[in-house]
């Protein structure tokens, strides 16, 4: 009887994990199936290197360089904001704060992750954008800068909580040895604890990158949606996820435009896939 | 414990009564009309469907958005009974119809004007179609060239798949491409909101979305008003269409007739659009 229980439990969990893999493979397969036909209409090099995105013009232009650059700039901006905030709060929570403060601070930062992205978007559109126009006297508040701020706030909890885990798991003996050798708290944190947790911190940043590059609602609402290569950070851009979200709903299934949107999805998938591979690689190397 | 039991009971009663109500309202409905398409036409259809179902309790109307292209495609593929669109069928769609050997019947049910809006503090009152083309194709960068203040233009457009974008592009841009630094926003509301908070902005929305927070300007001296739209003097007037298939008409036709009748046209007006038939005329 016990044997049967064990076997059935094994089978159930096995099927559950298998199911996830099947779904993942199915999604990958369908993206590539839906995206490859676009290359009948435009060559891969032109698709990736032309900045001109006019999918409904006659004849249409399917160049996504400006969309890729838009995505990367907004994501880079988000990391510039979220790395200091996330890492700083992680160090404070893990190394400096008292037990009580830690118990209050940690859930508050994690709560940031629970806010729906559309609420972030609304905040950016209705509050941050008019505010930036007034402060910086810029023509429009929907731009790389404002999208970076909002995205950065969304990524903070990811970097913060994962880095905090990495910092907390640094053995106490290392800290004690450092203090015993005469280093003060600041030196111990910067020279000993942070380098020891380096792998975990870097993978938290890469995961944050993956989150930011794929985030859709915020960039749809706040980035402005102009398919151009910007010359400064106060200009609007059209990141890849925003393009797919804005256009997929009203695009005729089976048209070149439809395939082109799937083509963008392939590029987006490849970018996030590579970022996850790097994370896995770092984590694995650390374990050895 | 007792208290908990009581609340649970109460909740159960509520759920049960709602379910009973639902079954009552659902039963006995045999005729179904499925409508999908343009988000511009959506408010009219929603309001009219409510009234129509009140008048004909034996009919059930389901209304969905999705956009003009989806509406036309769904009616061509016979997924729905009526497809709504804020633009006429295009070349590819006519081609598709020919291949499937089907005929669409086009009925204009209301008029809309693509209204050009700017920030309320902008002194400009009037633009010509040529100026609009130069603005949207990227040949003009500053309001100074248009008789306004020395202020950088912020050009706001609708996203490429929208029917408004298609009509605007055809009339204003002709064959030119929209400038690449134009903000492409996903809805009429997003355009109106952003024009209201952006001093150098210019954008276009359906006439139903013009509010006090933005300034409506005229084109070549003609403002989009009931009269100028009804006699098509306003250059950015467009018709809003309902498409049905010639083969499967009867029930859908009743609903379209209702929209064209005085009562339906009053709903059109109430939703902020312009009636296609003058008041008092009955079909």
Out of A140, A224, A250, closest to residue B69 by CB: A250
Q: Measured between alpha carbons, how far is residue A72 from residues A68, A75, A138, A223, B248 in Å?
A: 6, 5, 22, 12, 50
Pairing assessment for the beta strands B126-127 and B274-275 based on DSSP bridges: unpaired
Best of B197, B202, B203 to disrupt the A interface (most A CBs within 10 Å) is: B197
In chain B, where the domains are located? 32-111+237-282, 112-230
Q: For residue range A180-233, list pLDDT tens digits in order.
A: 999 898 999 999 999 999 989 999 999 999 999 999 999 999 998 888 899 999
What H or E segment, with its residue span, contains residue B162?
A: none
Confirm or reject CATH 3.40.190.10 for domain B32-111+237-282, answering yes or no: yes
Report if residue A182 sits inside a domain: yes
Give residue B279's pLDDT: 66
Report if residue A7 sits inside a domain: no
Q: For residue range A159-182, list pLDDT tens digits in order.
A: 999 999 999 999 999 999 999 999
Q: For residue range A7-44, list pLDDT tens digits in order.
A: 999 999 999 999 999 999 999 999 999 999 999 999 99
Report if residue A88 sits inside a domain: yes
Report if residue A178 sits inside a domain: yes
Per the CB < 8 Å rule, is B181 touching A52?
no
Nearest CA in chain B to A55: B160
Per the CB < 8 Å rule, is B183 touching A140?
yes
When the pLDDT of each residue in chain B is averaged and rounded to a whole number, the result is 85
Give residue B225's pLDDT: 87
Closest-CA distance of chain B to residue A268, Å: 21
| Residues A96, A97, A103, A109, CA torsion sign | negative
Per the CB < 8 Å rule, is B161 touching A250?
yes
Nearest CA in chain A to B76: A252
Give residue B74's pLDDT: 87
Out of B154, B159, B200, closest to residue A225 by CB: B159
* Closest listed residue to residue B39, CA positions, set B63, B10, B58: B63
Report if residue A23 sits inside a domain: no
pLDDT over 50 at B282, yes or no: no
* Confidence band, pLDDT 50/70/90 cuts, at residue A1: low
Tell me how far apart the alpha carbons of residues A106 and A92 are, in angstroms, rounded to a whole number: 10
Interface of chain A toward chain B, CB-CB under 8 angstroms: 51-58, 61, 66, 125-126, 129-130, 133, 139-142, 220-221, 224-228, 235-236, 238, 246-247, 249-253, 255, 257
Closest-CA distance of chain B to residue A252, Å: 6
Contacts of B154 in chain A (CB under 8 A): 139-140
Out of B66, B180, B200, closest to residue A228 by CB: B180
Report if residue A29 sits inside a domain: no
User: Within the 196-225 window of chain B, which residues sit less than 8 Å (CB to CB) from chain A?
Assistant: 197-201
Give residue A237's pLDDT: 94
Tell me how far apart the alpha carbons of residues B261 and B282 are, in angstroms, rounded to a whole number: 6
Report if residue A224 sits inside a domain: yes
Q: For residue range B163-187, list pLDDT tens digits in order.
A: 788 888 888 988 788 888 899 887 8
Per the CB < 8 Å rule, is A255 touching B92?
yes
Nearest CA in chain B to A57: B177
More confident residue, A65 or B24: A65
Does the complex come out with an ipTM higher than 0.90?
Answer: no
Contacts of A140 in chain B (CB under 8 A): 154, 183, 194, 198, 200-201
Give residue A250's pLDDT: 73
Q: Which of A67-71, A136-140, A141-145, B245-249 bottoms out in mean pLDDT, i.e. has the lowest?
A: B245-249
Give residue A274's pLDDT: 92
Q: Measured between alpha carbons, how far is residue B153 from residues A129, A229, B71, B122, B173 in Å?
A: 17, 18, 34, 11, 17
Nearest CA in chain B to A124: B194
* Closest listed residue to residue A242, CA positions, set B184, B54, B155: B184
Q: For residue range B228-240, list pLDDT tens digits in order.
A: 998 889 999 999 9
Nearest CA in chain B to A60: B177
Q: Buried (b) or exposed (e) across B70-92, using 16+ Cβ within 10 A?
A: bbbbbbbeeebbbbbbbbbbbee
A186 by Cβ neighbours in 10 Å (0-12 / 13-18 / 19+) ranks as exposed
When the pLDDT of each residue in chain A is averaged and rounded to a whole number, the result is 91
Residue A245's domain comprises 44-287
What is the percentage of chain A residues whose pLDDT exceeds 70? 99
Tell me how far apart the alpha carbons of residues B237 and B169 are, in angstroms, rounded to a whole number: 13
Per the CB < 8 Å rule, is B183 touching A54?
no
DSSP states of A128-150 as a string? IHHHHHHHH--S-S-SHHHHHHH
Q: For residue range B98-132, list pLDDT tens digits in order.
A: 888 888 889 999 999 999 999 999 999 999 999 99
Asked whether the domain spanning B112-230 has the same topology as the one spanning B32-111+237-282, the reply is yes
Span A62-81, average pLDDT = 95
Q: For residue range B181-218, list pLDDT tens digits in order.
A: 899 887 888 899 889 988 899 999 988 888 899 999 99
* Confidence band, pLDDT 50/70/90 cuts, at residue A4: confident
* Confidence band, pLDDT 50/70/90 cuts, at residue A236: very high
Number of structural domains chain A divides into: 1
Per the CB < 8 Å rule, is B183 touching A126?
no
DSSP letter (8 states) at residue B177: P
User: Where residue A198 sits, what CATH number does that domain have?
Assistant: 1.10.3720.10
Give residue B283's pLDDT: 42
DSSP states of B209-273 as a string? G--TTSEE-EETTB---HHHHHTT-STTEEEEEEEEESSS-HHHHHHHHHHHSHHHHHHHHHTT-
Closest-CA distance of chain A to residue B20, Å: 34
Contacts of B92 in chain A (CB under 8 A): 252, 255
Tell me how far apart the alpha carbons of residues A220 and A199 are, in angstroms, rounded to a whole number: 33
* Confidence band, pLDDT 50/70/90 cuts, at residue B18: low
DSSP letter (8 states) at residue A36: G
Contacts of B186 in chain A (CB under 8 A): 220, 225, 246
The CATH label, of 3.40.718.10, 3.40.50.920, 3.40.50.10540, 3.40.190.10, for the domain at B112-230 is 3.40.190.10
Q: CB contact, 8 Å: B69 with chain A?
A: yes
Closest-CA distance of chain A to residue B251, Å: 27
Report if residue A15 sits inside a domain: no
Out of B161, B182, B194, closest to residue A226 by CB: B182
Tell me how far apart the alpha carbons of residues B36 and B63 are, in angstroms, rounded to a whole number: 6
* Confidence band, pLDDT 50/70/90 cuts, at residue B249: low
C-alpha angle A116-A118-A121 in degrees, rounded to nearest 5: 120
């Amino acid at each position: 009887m016990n044997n049967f229980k064990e076997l059935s439990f094994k089978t159930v969990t096995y099927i559950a994990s298998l199911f996830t893999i099947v779904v993942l493979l199915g999604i990958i397969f369908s993206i590539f199936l839906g995206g490859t036909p676009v290359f009948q209409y435009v060559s891969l090099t032109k698709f990736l290197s032309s900045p001109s995105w006019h999918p409904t013009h006659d004849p249409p232009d399917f160049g996504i360089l400006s969309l890729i650059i838009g995505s990367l700039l907004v994501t880079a901006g988000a990391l510039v904001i979220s790395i200091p905030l996330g890492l700083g709060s992680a160090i404070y929570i893990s190394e400096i704060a008292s037990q009580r403060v830690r118990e209050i601070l940690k859930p508050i930062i994690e709560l940031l992750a629970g806010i729906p992205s559309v609420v972030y978007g609304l905040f950016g559109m209705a509050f941050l954008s008019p505010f930036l126009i007034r402060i910086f006297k810029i023509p429009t508040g929907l731009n790389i800068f404002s999208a970076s701020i909002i995205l950065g706030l969304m990524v903070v909890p990811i970097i913060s909580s994962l880095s905090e885990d990495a910092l907390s798991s640094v053995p106490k003996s290392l800290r004690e040895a450092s203090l015993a050798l005469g280093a003060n708290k600041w030196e111990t944190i910067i020279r000993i604890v942070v380098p020891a947790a380096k792998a975990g911190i870097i993978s938290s940043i890469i995961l944050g990158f993956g989150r930011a590059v794929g985030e859709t609602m915020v960039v749809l609402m706040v980035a402005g949606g102009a398919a151009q290569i910007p010359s400064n950070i106060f200009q609007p851009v059209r990141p890849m996820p925003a393009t797919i979200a804005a256009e997929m709903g009203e695009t005729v299934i089976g048209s070149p435009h439809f395939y082109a949107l799937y083509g963008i999805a392939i590029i987006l998938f490849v970018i996030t896939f590579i970022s996850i591979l790097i994370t896995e690689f770092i984590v694995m190397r650390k374990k050895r | 414990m007792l208290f908990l039991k009581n609340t649970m009971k109460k909740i159960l009663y509520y759920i049960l009564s709602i379910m009973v109500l639902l079954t009552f309202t659902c039963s006995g409905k045999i005729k179904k009309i499925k409508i999908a398409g343009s988000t511009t036409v959506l408010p009219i259809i929603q309001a009219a469907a409510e009234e129509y179902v009140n008048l004909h309790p034996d009919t059930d109307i389901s209304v969905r958005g999705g956009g003009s292209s989806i509406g036309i495609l769904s009616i061509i593929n016979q997924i729905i009974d009526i497809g709504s669109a804020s633009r006429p069928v295009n070349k590819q769609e006519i081609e598709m119809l020919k291949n499937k050997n089907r005929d669409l019947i086009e009925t204009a049910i209301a008029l809309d004007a693509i209204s050009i809006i700017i920030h309320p503090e902008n002194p400009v009152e009037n633009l010509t179609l040529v100026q609009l083309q130069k603005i949207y194709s990227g040949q003009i960068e500053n309001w100074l060239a248009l008789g306004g203040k020395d202020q950088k233009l912020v050009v706001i457009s609708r996203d490429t798949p929208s029917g408004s974008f298609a009509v605007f592009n055809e009339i204003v841009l002709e064959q030119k491409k929209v400038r690449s630094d134009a903000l492409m926003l996903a809805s009429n509301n997003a355009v109106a909101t952003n024009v209201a908070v952006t001093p150098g902005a210019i954008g276009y929305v359906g006439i139903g979305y013009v509010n006090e927070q933005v300034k409506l300007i005229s084109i070549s001296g003609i403002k989009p008003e009931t009269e100028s739209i009804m006699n098509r003097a306003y250059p950015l007037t467009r018709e809003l269409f309902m498409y049905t298939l010639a083969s499967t008409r009867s029930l859908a036709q009743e609903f379209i007739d209702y929209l064209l009748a005085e009562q339906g046209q009053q709903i059109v007006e109430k939703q902020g659009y312009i009636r296609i038939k003058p008041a008092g005329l009955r079909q």
